[in-house]
């Protein structure tokens, strides 16, 4: 059985496109995970994407995670709510001053608390100044990402509010897989 999935690609072509969200109330901070850690990154990936069918990285080996996270210009920025990981942004510097926001999202328990807009704003700003942290990289000229019809219901609106503009839409048929959750059965009790 398959499902129809619409994927939208969005971009900012100038730092002036970025429209930051207000910081949420409370003790929310965002820090860069400077030491590449496959264990931590896989935790974030499965905890954020488990209920929205993020499966493309689940089969990767430890060495493959290390390779991805160890590339120059790959950064992971983590939002913490009172010391607990709440979500993350993964950036990937590409050629010619392009930075992709490869992954962005919140762990389900932290959605709806106004953390997402702030985290996306912060992550996009770090994409724009990424070359400052990586000597020899071309300054950022474009930041892009994609979202799809399987993502959270507020994802597209958040991207547009932050100043991202649509540049491509694709519709595909994909296998209808169960939501893996951060571990089997995690969402059965909700």
**Residue boundaries of the structural domains of the chain:** 2-175
Strand 74-81, strand 165-175: pairing: unpaired
The two three-digit tokens of residue 186, written as one number: 């995690």
Instruction: Reply yes or no on whether the pLDDT at 130 is more than 90.
Output: yes
Instruction: Reply yes or no on whether the pLDDT at 189 is more than 50.
Output: no
Instruction: Reply yes or no on whether the pLDDT at 171 is more than 60.
Output: yes
Per-residue confidence at 188, pLDDT binned at 50, 70, 90?
very low
Q: What is the mean pLDDT of residues 185-189?
A: 50
Architecture per CATH, domain 2-175, reads as 3-Layer(aba) Sandwich (3.40)
Strand 165-175, strand 28-32: pairing: unpaired
In whole angstroms, what is the distance from residue 92 CA to residue 79 CA? 18
Instruction: Reply yes or no on whether the pLDDT at 68 is more than 60.
Output: yes
Task: Give the model confidence (pLDDT) of 131-166 as tens digits.
Answer: 999 999 999 999 999 999 988 888 999 999 999 999
Cβ pair 143, 128 in contact under 8 A: yes
Task: Give the model confidence (pLDDT) of 26-52 as tens digits.
Answer: 999 999 999 999 999 999 999 999 888
């Amino acid at each position: 059985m398959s499902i129809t999935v619409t994927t939208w690609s969005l971009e900012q072509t100038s730092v002036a496109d970025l429209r930051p969200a207000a910081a949420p109330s409370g003790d929310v901070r965002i820090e860069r995970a400077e030491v590449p850690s496959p264990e931590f990154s896989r935790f974030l990936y499965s905890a954020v994407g488990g209920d929205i069918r993020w499966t493309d990285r689940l089969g990767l080996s430890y060495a493959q995670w290390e390779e991805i996270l160890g590339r120059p210009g790959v950064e992971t920025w983590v939002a913490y709510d009172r010391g607990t990981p709440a979500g993350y942004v993964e950036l990937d510097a590409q050629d010619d001053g392009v930075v992709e926001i490869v992954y962005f999202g919140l762990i389900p328990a932290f959605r709806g608390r106004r953390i997402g807009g702030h985290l996306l704003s912060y992550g996009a700003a770090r994409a724009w100044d990424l070359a400052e942290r990586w000597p020899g990289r071309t300054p950022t000229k474009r930041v892009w990402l994609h979202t799809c019809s399987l993502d959270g219901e507020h994802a597209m609106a958040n991207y547009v509010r932050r100043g991202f503009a649509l540049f491509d839409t694709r519709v595909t048929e994909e296998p209808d897989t169960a939501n893996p959750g951060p571990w089997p059965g995690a969402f059965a009790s909700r």
